[in-house]
């Protein structure tokens, strides 16, 4: 059973699947033993372990969190924005209770980001500040942005890279961007091409790094190693496959892992075994209690195709069944020929995914005044019970830090 060791802090800058701009997928990742104030003060070791996962939003979301920091115990001002799009579904008199409807805290903790920043005189002496004057929230946001060691980009769709472009005038030095060759080639060709945006690669403000799939990279950070896996995100208009990425992030100090998915469709939809490769790799880690959280998309409720390369609840549960099968088959070689939904797995005494945090991102907003997050979460919970998976499902909300 996966246990929460609270080694990773995942700051949710944006988590929406669109179409509202400024709220799309972007996350900040750091070890929990690295404090925000260490980043502000330029601690080299702290900055080495501070990464962005995708870049749908950036500076504006950091600033919004700082502007509302301290006004509530939990920063519900930012996190309630997407919930309040559906007033018929939201009790605006108790936003904290509403937020907890979407977050399963049995095996993780949540908090407001940047809590350890003190208000009084903490900025004196910083070389960015004027002498003896406290920094503005905008200045703090800029420092945090420039403290990011690198961006892990899952794919080059605009809702995952736009802040990398728009925020680039704030970069004080070369910013590293990591991705599979398919993604990096697309970013170079279609974004930093002197037409859509200046070629910041040739100007040495953006440093693009291609990482080979299924190869563990230990030279990106002294704290984290990174392994990338290719995913299917549907087909392009010419019929060729569009690739996305899952990143397995290993805390080398603690030998613990976090799995982060970009946009992805099920193996059932793609007719491939791309997701299965990921499950093959992480199932031993789950069995050994070295991975307790997976961040993955579920864009809409169950709808018929075309799904445009995305997951729906029934397809996500099917992937979970495949993952459980692989975990159990490692312990019981005789079960390998059984189908993932066989009663053998449902009735297995020690469920390997019990307590696993599955954090849902990239939910697409709807215009029917019915909160899609509630609908998706209900379907997932019902199927979770049906198949006895015992996973802890959480719907990500911006403005919150998850301790994983």
Indicate whether 1 belongs to any domain: no
Q: What is the CATH number of the domain that holds 267?
A: 3.60.15.10
Q: How confident is the model at residue 132 (pLDDT cuts 50, 70, 90)?
A: very low
* Residues sharing a CB contact under 8 Å with residue 370, sequence separation 6 or more, in sequence order: 86, 88, 89
114 close to 69: Cβ distance less than 8 angstroms: yes
Sign (positive or negative) of CA dihedral 234, 237, 243, 244: negative
Does 129 reside within a domain? Answer: no
In a domain, 345, yes or no: yes
Checking if the pLDDT of 120 tops 60, the result is no
Q: Tell me what pLDDT residue 327 has.
A: 98
Task: Give the residue ranges of DSSP H helices in 149-204.
Answer: 158-166, 181-190
**Is residue 52 included in any domain, yes or no?**
yes
Determine if the pTM surpasses 0.85: yes
Per-residue pLDDT tens for 182-193? 999 999 999 999
In this structure, is residue 3 part of a structural domain? no
Whole-number pLDDT of residue 116:
82
**Structural domain boundaries, residue 319:** 8-124+134-403
Residue at 294 is within a domain: yes
Instruction: Assess if residue 55 is contained within a domain.
Output: yes
What pLDDT score was predicted for residue 178?
Answer: 99
**Cα–Cα distance measured from residue 184 to residue 51, given in angstroms and rounded to the nearest whole number:** 17
User: Domain tally for the chain?
Assistant: 1
Instruction: Give the pLDDT confidence of 282-304 residue by residue, as tens digits.
Output: 999 999 999 999 999 999 999 99
130 vs 198, which has greater pLDDT? 198
């Amino acid at each position: 059973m996966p246990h929460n060791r609270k080694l990773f802090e995942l700051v949710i800058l944006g988590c929406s699947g669109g179409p509202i701009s400024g709220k799309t997928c972007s996350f900040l990742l750091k070890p929990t033993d690295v404090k925000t104030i260490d980043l502000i003060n330029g601690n080299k070791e702290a900055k080495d372990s501070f990464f962005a996962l995708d870049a749908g939003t950036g500076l504006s979301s950091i600033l919004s969190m700082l502007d509302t920091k301290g006004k509530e115990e939990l920063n519900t001002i930012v996190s309630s924005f997407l919930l309040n799009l559906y007033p018929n579904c939201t009790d605006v008199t108790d936003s904290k209770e509403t937020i907890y409807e979407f977050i399963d805290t049995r095996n993780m903790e949540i908090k407001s980001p940047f809590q350890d920043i003190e208000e009084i005189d903490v900025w004196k002496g910083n070389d960015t500040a004027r002498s003896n004057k406290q920094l503005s929230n905008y200045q703090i946001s800029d420092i945090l942005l420039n403290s990011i060691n690198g961006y892990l980009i899952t794919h080059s769709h605009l809702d995952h890279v736009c802040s990398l472009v728009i925020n680039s005038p704030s970069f004080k030095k070369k910013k590293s961007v990591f991705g599979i060759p398919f993604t990096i080639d697309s970013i170079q060709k279609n974004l930093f091409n002197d037409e859509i945006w200046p070629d910041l690669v040739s100007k040495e403000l953006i440093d693009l790094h291609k990482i080979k799939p299924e190869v563990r990279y230990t030279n990106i950070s002294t704290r984290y190693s990174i392994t990338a896996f290719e995913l299917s995100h549907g087909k392009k208009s010419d019929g060729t496959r569009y690739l996305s990425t899952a990143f397995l992030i290993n805390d080398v100090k603690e030998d613990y892992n976090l799995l982060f998915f970009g946009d992805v469709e099920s193996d059932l939809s793609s007719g491939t075994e791309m997701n299965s490769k990921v499950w093959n790799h992480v199932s031993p880690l789950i069995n050994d209690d070295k991975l307790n959280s997976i961040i993955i998309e579920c864009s809409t409720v169950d709808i018929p195709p075309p799904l445009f390369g995305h997951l729906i609840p029934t397809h996500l549960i099917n992937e979970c069944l495949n993952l459980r099968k692989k975990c159990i088959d490692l312990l019981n070689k005789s079960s390998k020929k059984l189908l993932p939904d066989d009663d053998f797995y449902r009735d297995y005494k020690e469920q390997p995914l019990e307590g696993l945090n599955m954090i849902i991102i990239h939910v697409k907003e709807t215009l029917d005044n019915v909160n899609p997050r509630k609908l998706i979460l209900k379907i997932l919970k019902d199927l979770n019970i049906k198949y006895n998976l015992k996973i802890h499902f959480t719907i990500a909300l911006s403005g919150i830090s998850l301790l994983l």
